[in-house]
Amino acid sequence: MKLPEQATVREFAYRYLQCLDAEKAADGKAGDGVALLSKPAVQDEIQRQRALFNRQMTREDTLRRLYGLVFGRCNDCVKLVTGEVKDLDALDLSLLSELKRSDKGGLEIKLLNRGELLRQLLDSAAEQTGGVMELLQAMQGEDD
């Protein structure tokens, strides 16, 4: 397999880091995703982008994402069960923990345990920041 041009390598690496699915990231345009992962230039680009992302990720970004999971809406998960939406890629299923089809054909979903996630978030914040009140004040400050 011929290695794609550098712009394609960057795009593949970016998409791969978002979904962690080599075939989906290749999307038929860049070639065989699994084969691409074995190429040194692709591995180097993935590492470069990972490092860049890690330098850009802040504590506030992490808190904002966790806050979104703890207090987010599950509308898209409900749409999945009711069959309202045909394009699954358009749904935000980040709150979805488990999906089962029953033997009678019904669809059962399980959402993240938000109480447990909040408890872990508060415990972690208490260890790192010295207290839960500081975390709550930081979260309140995001809304101002």
pLDDT tens digit sequence for 122-137: 777 676 666 656 666 6
The closest of 144, 74, 62 to 113, measured between CA atoms, is 74
Domain of 25, in residue numbers: 6-56
Give the largest CA-CA distance in the chain: 55
Locate 74 and state its tokens. 């599950």
Asked if residue 1 is part of any domain, the answer here is: no
Asked if residue 43 is part of any domain, the answer here is: yes
Domains held by the chain: number? 2
**48/71 same-domain check:** no
pLDDT of residue 108: 86
pLDDT of residue 91: 83
Torsion of CA 52, 57, 58, 61, to 10 degrees: 160
Provide the mean pLDDT of the chain: 79
Domain stop point among 15, 37, 56: 56
